[in-house]
Amino acid sequence: MKRQFIGVGVGIGTSIGITIGSVVGSIKGDVGFWILMGVAFGPSFGVIAAIIYGNLKNED
């Protein structure tokens, strides 16, 4: 069950990271760098959130 949350977390984290990276990049002026940062760090935040959510979900 936790694998399902981790897979979803990676997907959502990547898409949110790319979105935030493109918004920040358009404001700062360096879109490529910020999209790359979103791709690099987005999945890790998604996995962390999925692990926390999966642990909370299993306690119910």
Per residue in 20-52, pLDDT (tens digit) is: 999 999 998 888 898 888 888 888 888 888 888
Side chain identity, residue 4: Q
In angstroms, the CA 20 to CA 60 distance is: 33
The rounded distance, in Å, linking the Cα atoms of 7 and 24 is 26
Prediction pTM value: 0.73
- Separation of alpha carbons 52 and 37, rounded Å: 23
Pair of tokens at residue 12:
């959502």
- Give me the pLDDT at residue 27, please: 92
Placement of tokens 């997907």 in the chain: 11
